[in-house]
Structure 1
Amino acid sequence: MSSADDSDVDDPADSVGYFLQDMEFHGKSDRTRREYGRVLRRFESFLSGGGPSGSVGIEPGDASHRDCMAFVHDLRRDPDLADSTVATYAAYLHRFYAYMTQVGTFDANPMALVMEELDERIDTDPTRREISVPRMRAFVAEIDHPLERALVVTLLKTGMRVGELCNLDLRDLSLSRDLDGFDVGGRAQLDGRPDSLYVASEPTVGEVYNGEERTASNKRKRGTVVPVDDELERTLLRWLAVRPDPVSPAEPLFVGTASGWGERLTPEQVQRVVRDHATAMGWYESGAGAAENVTPHYFRHFFTTHLRDRTGERGVVKYLRGDVAKDIIDTYTHNWGDNVRETYERHIYSLLDLPPR
């Protein structure tokens, strides 16, 4: 058996090694590969003991969903693992199976059913700072720079991940207003859906997408159409009015205005913007951790918590986050205008003090 961070693929039966090597080809960091390797090798060791079936020597490609459930249950019994860590480890295993199924090495992903159950039982976010909508509104009001405000408001209004934000191109934005000089809304998925953003699932770090090598990966199970309300529209229009000409032919929505003028923003740059404003608000302290610090991921937590509480609609919120399985996301895609947009516009919180048009 290979060690936790070993990616030896001389043995064709070593599916974990194959996956870890492909992660390297996709540009994943050594740290990320070690983390995945540690969890996947632990899963291999668990299976070698027989899993719930008692058959010694099960390989990952032969594991059933019951084997996977038993592994997650075994993780839960580990006193050193918090619920959020168990959820993270399960997500690693899910991504391993999803990838191996996609490339045709495995026939099916036994973690798919397990993840649906985990989504209901485990809060993947640790206990976090509680911020009310009025306090968040005051936070946004202190951000004057058009780009920085657009980044923060987009994250707060859509719940997307920071990598997904950085991967947005002009073609992913559809507005009902005509924008001279901007080729927006080129996505077929946005036809008949004005005032929307399309968050794709495909962009992957290190791979060329829409003519440009990406510096971040999207982690959605499937592409999602997210409504753009009046506040977000006005914020984006203010940004586009001063947006530098982009370097990339992909026409990134968000580009640099200082160092890296006109270049697509990276997650690290967005994180720095949020960290600076959160620090000024007393919401960020080095070393404090996720329980205290406000980061781009906190905005995803804020979006989920407040919109879910206002709507009582777990399905719509999960759709907007891009976290649901294919059958559920198909349901909301087909009922997008009647269900998703209507629910969103009726319940989305206000972040700006805007005069009427």
Structure 2
Amino acid sequence: MNAEVERGTSGEDTIAYFLQEMTFHGRTERTRSAYERVLRGFESFLQERETTLAEADRRDCMTWVHTLRADHAGSTVASYAAYVHRFYAYMSQVGAFEANPMALVTEEMDESIQTDPTRREISVPEMRSFLSDVGHPLERAVIGTLLKTGIRVGECCNLDLRDLYLDDSDVRSAYSTAHRGALDGRPDSLYVPSEPTRGEEYNGQERSASNKRKRSTVIPVDTELKRLLKAWLAIRPDTTTTASPLFVSTDEWGRRLTPSMVRNVVTKRASERGWYRTGGDAAENVTPHYFRHFFTTHLRDRTGDRGIVKYLRGDVATDIIDTYTHNWGDRVRSTYEASIYRLL
């Protein structure tokens, strides 16, 4: 836990710290009481499973939600899950926790339960206007990648040059790094591995974030994303690591981007647009994770094929993902290219 959180709590009572923050941000006593009741109940549930708020994982959250369904209406389950999701989202932002284990759980609940009716919804034209205001090639490429692929911010930061195969003579002449074998026969595509783990070495470099998908995934790169990536690669600084990161800082010259760097960029741009407010919750603020929600919502509505969206997100089981992997060109690429929204 960071020093700021420690100063604001008694011991390591992160719930008390969160409630105090809610007071500072003007939340009513009634709202704070509702959050405390739900969060303390969730904490007790974890204690019975001999784990803590900081150590809880997605399975713990899924199990808790499942137990709620036995005694509560769907709308109540949705509200309780949203409370825990917002708690983890906020505490992750202030550095108390490394991740939000409830994020994927609440997203998957969207198919049957409206978890958060007040969540900000942004149209494709609005997002297109947002991206047009971003001028730096690195920022445009990173935000475009998140919006066009739905990958997580950590997965984006973990991408190496070998994970990208652009069928382009200019790129080939500028970069000699060979793409992965998994991309052979799949030009203009991106490979998102499942293996990188925070704190462990991968492809010759220690990683600052973990990839969380169940299986490695090949995602098409459409003409718009290809244009953004080419513009970035034209100015990409050299880096000393043999891993050859795809996205590196132009401020800290050649250093692999970290999730915090990306969040700072998105926060700044979203604030300029009125889409981010200090103290706002996940329902209000646009963050890198919001882009994953945007991708899921809009592509699912356009394709009508939930399986392909789950494949692209890396969320599906082995038997389903193998079906799409073996029929990638005809099933995944064709559907993606026919359905992906235009942002340029």
TM-score by length of 1: 0.69
Q: Deviations over 1:110-152 (max 9, x none)?
A: xxxx99x968545677742111101110000001100000011
Contact 1:126 1:290 in 2 (8 A): no
Name the CA distance, whole Å, in 1 between partners of 2:116 and 2:83.
11
Name the CA distance, whole Å, in 2 between partners of 1:87 and 1:316.
29
Name the CA distance, whole Å, in 2 between partners of 1:243 and 1:70.
44
- Shift of residue 245 of structure 1? 0.2
- 1:209 and 2:206 aligned: no
- 1:84 and 2:81 aligned: yes
Question: Highest CA radius of gyration, 1 or 2?
Answer: 1
Contact 1:84 1:126 in 2 (8 A): no
The code of the aligned residue for 1:196 comes to S
- Shift of residue 43 of structure 1? 3.2
Query: With CA pairs under 8 Å and 6+ residues apart, which has the higher RCO, 1 or 2?
Result: 2
Q: Number of residue pairs matched?
A: 273
The equivalent of 2:240 in structure 1 is 247
Distance 1:195 1:37, change over 3 A: farther
The code of the aligned residue for 2:81 comes to S
Contact 1:162 1:270 in 2 (8 A): yes
Contact 1:311 1:343 in 2 (8 A): yes
Name the CA distance, whole Å, in 2 between partners of 1:265 and 1:308.
29
The equivalent of 1:190 in structure 2 is 183
- 1:136 and 2:127 aligned: yes
* Aligned equivalent of 1:270, options 256, 262, 274: 262
Distance 1:184 1:157, change over 3 A: farther
Secondary structure of residue in 2 paired with 1:249: coil
Unmatched runs of 5 consecutive residues or more in structure 1: 6-35, 46-64, 89-113, 353-357
Q: How does 1:1-357 map to 2 (within 5 A)?
A: 40-43=46-49, 72-76=65-69, 77=71, 82=79, 84=81, 121=112, 127-178=118-169, 179=171, 180-258=173-251, 260-352=252-344
- Shift of residue 308 of structure 1? 0.5
- Shift of residue 42 of structure 1? 2.9
Distance 1:240 1:71, change over 3 A: closer
Secondary structure of residue in 2 paired with 1:226: strand
Secondary structure of residue in 2 paired with 1:82: helix
Question: Identity percentage over the alignment?
Answer: 63
Unmatched runs of 5 consecutive residues or more in structure 2: 1-11, 13-41, 52-58, 86-104
- Shift of residue 241 of structure 1? 0.4
Name the CA distance, whole Å, in 1 between partners of 2:243 and 2:143.
22
- Shift of residue 315 of structure 1? 0.4
Secondary structure of residue in 1 paired with 2:174: coil
Name the CA distance, whole Å, in 2 between partners of 1:246 and 1:69.
41
How large is the RMSD of aligned CA atoms in angstroms? 3.1
Contact 2:197 2:209 in 1 (8 A): yes
Distance 1:188 1:294, change over 3 A: same
The code of the aligned residue for 1:163 comes to G
- Shift of residue 176 of structure 1? 1.0
TM-score by length of 2: 0.72
Distance 1:223 1:122, change over 3 A: farther
